[in-house]
Amino acid sequence: MSARDSSLRKDGWISCIPKQPWASGLAWGWKLPRKSGALAPRQSANQVKGFSPSVPRGLRALDCRWDYAALKGPLFHELAEVGKILARGIHDLAGVGKLAASGITVSLILVLVVHAQVTFERLVNSAKEPQNWMTYSGSYSGQRFSKLDQINNGNAHSIVAKWVYQTAATGKFETTPLVVDGILYATAPDDRAFALDARTGRPIWMYQRQLPGDIRPCCGRVNRGLAILGGKVFLGTLDAHVIALDAKTGAVVWDVTAADYRTGHSFTVAPLAVKNLIVIGISGGEYGVRGFIDAYDGTTGARKWRFYTVPGPGEPGHDTWESDSWKVGGAPAWNTGTYDPATNQIFWPTGNPSPSNRGEGRAGDNLYSNSLLALNADSGKLGWYFQFTKHDEHDWDATQIPVLIDAGGKKLIAQADRNGYFYVIDRTNGKLISATPYGKTTWSDSKDAEGRPVANKNASPTLEGHTVCPGALGTTNFMSPTYDPQSGLFYVTARDQCDIFSTAPQPYEAGHAFYGSAYFPSEESEPYLGFLKAIDPATGEVKRNFQHTSPTWSGVLSTAGGLVFSGDAEGNFIALDAASLKPLWHFQMGGAVYAAPMAFAIDGKEYVAIAAGSAIYAFGLP
């Protein structure tokens, strides 16, 4: 044990530095075999400080002994050799040459060595780094638009799969990867996080959260992705923890508890890094939680502020709740918001009131459910709000990505809402500019003085049940839209589906589902159709339609190459012309798409990546 020094190097890359060369094929003389696959060594074989497979926070992704990582794939055999060269001194480029001669991937070594810190300044100026994808939506604006144009509508027909990474995870795969300086970071169901060489898809590290057996996710054991800041990536978990992982090793840096998962609290959202804060919204509206948005110090994990999305006594908006209904009022915040650096405001959407489909017992508008909130990034203080659906009785969460658009000298937010209307809002004051239906709607046939749709007398659920459009899944849902500044169009996945809504009393019981209703597809409204729609934010008019074989859960990406990318429920990844929505290419991935695509570039080559089935696919030109 005296042959090693466990102190961390200044650059933080190697956690164990030898004081003498390795024995032949063995790390510091430990008699341990090399292993491949996602297997953890026995606890008895790992009495190294900081590593324990029994720690409930999850397995460390990389042991300081290069020959024996906690979770390893074939790439770790190369990393073992990389570690030896680096420990001897990476300045000795002859060592790198020896690695190349032996078949080790030198590009990977260089990527790991030159990996730069992700600063707030880089995130603000992400448009200057189109080769990277550093936030959930690609930029703070939420536009999910890439300035890369190597793949374009002239050559899209020749796109090929470049690599595929199989996660072996089951369930809905909703992640959007991040790519920073050649490394891809992503998540999989059950709170698995991993880093890949973005050139080849080969694994660098993997972290697996050890979840309790009695977690209560409403809608699948899903996770939509990570945030990155400094030298760490950040993960929200299904047992309501926020975790910081070392971006180079996957090791846990800090782990904080946000809420009690046994009452239905969970995190499924990709956090948003703003300044030195990690902002994240809670899930659990189907369990009667009191929703909130948190901000944590990225360095220490200390909570800096919390904004409750259901106001308590004495707070503005509390009088929009009947009696004590606010205590179990819901209004979760389970999709990622956006940020305007010019005003230092975070724009975060919220979900349904609880119970989700029964209004009796919670009379009032039920603020701030189904709303868009403008929060001061430093304090969490509310600047303004806009409520899309007052006193919701149809589970129409407004947790769609709010997209920032600057047009005609105006600062706007566009949001295609689950209730079937496309909204444009002045983001300087929260005032409504327009609300236009973009799918089949029957719940509203008039508007109030502000131009907000008003529910008609036939909208509320009944004991017997009756048909309302859209259904509970909404005209759209969590699927990320995109705004293409070149075409000036907003592209969103949509569906035409109506449900029969019924209602009945249900007492609240902590940790149990709290719906107050039942709903199921209405035969009056078949067939159920799925679309990719192109909307003009200036008018709210649907300019183009591409009809899918069936409704899909895929998000959308637009690029400077005049393309729009999306997927479908049948497993196809599709490239369409942004102007006409004519399909130009597709690839069958073998699994339904629940994620949104993104784009990145390495060595001057553009890639487009998406999760489908249980794998991440990367595509490029031949």
Residue 610: count of CB within 10 angstroms of its CB: 27
Mean pLDDT score across all residues of the chain: 85
**What is the rounded average pLDDT of the residues 190-215?**
97
Residue 97: count of CB within 10 angstroms of its CB: 12
Is the pLDDT reported for residue 524 higher than 90? no
Percent of the chain surpassing pLDDT 90: 75
Give the separation between CA 154 and CA 152, rounded to whole angstroms. Answer: 5
pLDDT value for 356:
87
Beta strands 4-5 and 17-18: pairing type? Answer: antiparallel
Options 395, 499, 568, 577, the catalytic residue: 395
Work out the burial of residue 205: count CB atoms within 10 Å of its CB; fewer than 13 is exposed, 13-18 middle, 19 or more buried: buried
**What is the rounded average pLDDT of the residues 199-205?**
98
Q: Which DSSP string do the residues of 45-59 spell out, in sequence order?
A: G---TT--TT-TT--
Least confident among 210-214, 260-264, 463-467, 599-603: 463-467
Question: CB neighbours of 34 closer than 8 A, spacing ≥ 6?
Answer: 67, 68, 77, 80
Question: CB neighbours of 219 closer than 8 A, spacing ≥ 6?
Answer: 268, 286
Q: Decide if 395 is catalytic.
A: yes
Least confident among 41-50, 152-161, 245-254, 466-475: 41-50
Joined together, the tokens standing for residue 532 give 């990719």
**What is the rounded average pLDDT of the residues 247-265?**
97
φ/ψ of 320, rounded to 5, equals -90, 10
Give the separation between CA 22 and CA 86, rounded to whole angstroms. Answer: 13
Closest by CA to 417, choosing from 351, 360, 357, is: 351
Joined together, the tokens standing for residue 87 give 């420990």
**What is the rounded average pLDDT of the residues 220-225?**
96
Q: Which DSSP string do the residues of 390-441 spell out, in sequence order?
A: TT-SS-----SPPEEEEETTEEEEEEE-TTSEEEEEETTTTEEEEEEE-S--
- DSSP letter at 117 equals P
Bridge partners of residue 301, in order along the sequence: none
Give the separation between CA 32 and CA 40, rounded to whole angstroms. Answer: 13
**What is the rounded average pLDDT of the residues 372-394?**
97
Is the pLDDT reported for residue 8 higher than 60? no
Buried b (16+ CB within 10 A) or exposed e, 361-372: ebebbbbbbbbb
pLDDT grade for 61, boundaries at 50, 70 and 90: very low
Closest by CA to 385, choosing from 324, 418, 337, is: 337
Give kind and range of the element (H or E) at residue 120.
helix 120-124
Write the single-letter amino acid at 418.
R
Q: Specify whether the CB–CB gap between 56 and 85 falls below 8 A.
A: no
The sheet with strand 272-274 has its strands ordered as 272-274, 277-281, 292-297, 303-308
**What is the rounded average pLDDT of the residues 65-82?**
40
**For 536-586, what is each residue's pLDDT tens digit?**
999 999 999 999 999 999 999 999 999 999 999 999 999 999 999 999 999
Joined together, the tokens standing for residue 144 give 């999910």
Give the separation between CA 575 and CA 567, rounded to whole angstroms. Answer: 9
Displacement of CA 246 from its chain's centroid (Å): 19
pLDDT value for 116:
66
- DSSP letter at 184 equals E
Is the pLDDT reported for residue 204 higher than 60? yes
Q: Is 578 left (phi over 0), alpha (psi -120 to 50) or beta?
A: alpha
Is the pLDDT reported for residue 296 higher than 70? yes
* Residue ranges of the chain assigned to CATH 2.140.10.10: 122-436+448-507+529-620
**What is the rounded average pLDDT of the residues 104-120?**
60
Q: Specify whether the CB–CB gap between 398 and 418 falls below 8 A.
A: yes
**What is the rounded average pLDDT of the residues 233-247?**
98
Closest by CA to 398, choosing from 435, 364, 433, is: 435
Map residue 554 onto helix, strand or coil: coil
**For 363-374, what is each residue's pLDDT tens digit?**
999 999 999 999
Work out the burial of residue 74: count CB atoms within 10 Å of its CB; fewer than 13 is exposed, 13-18 middle, 19 or more buried: exposed
Question: CB neighbours of 92 closer than 8 A, spacing ≥ 6?
Answer: 85
Is the pLDDT reported for residue 188 higher than 50? yes
**What is the rounded average pLDDT of the residues 356-365?**
92
Contacts 24+ apart (CB under 8 A), 311-317: 311/367, 311/368, 316/382, 317/367, 317/368
Most confident of 107-111, 358-362, 513-517, 577-581: 577-581
Best CATH choice for the domain 122-436+448-507+529-620 from the list 1.20.1530.20, 2.60.40.1250, 2.140.10.10, 3.20.20.10:
2.140.10.10
Is the pLDDT reported for residue 392 higher than 90? yes
pLDDT value for 201:
98
Give kind and range of the element (H or E) at residue 90.
none
Is the pLDDT reported for residue 106 higher than 50? no
Give the separation between CA 196 and CA 206, rounded to whole angstroms. Answer: 9
φ/ψ of 289, rounded to 5, equals -75, 165
**For 136-187, what is each residue's pLDDT tens digit?**
999 999 999 999 999 999 999 999 999 999 998 889 999 999 999 999 999 9
Q: Specify whether the CB–CB gap between 393 and 461 falls below 8 A.
A: yes
Least confident among 386-390, 478-482, 513-517, 577-581: 513-517
**For 21-58, what is each residue's pLDDT tens digit?**
322 222 222 223 322 223 333 333 333 333 333 333 33
Question: CB neighbours of 131 closer than 8 A, spacing ≥ 6?
Answer: 148, 179, 600, 601, 602
pLDDT value for 527:
82
Q: Which residue has the higher pLDDT, 84 or 582?
A: 582
Residue 476: count of CB within 10 angstroms of its CB: 28
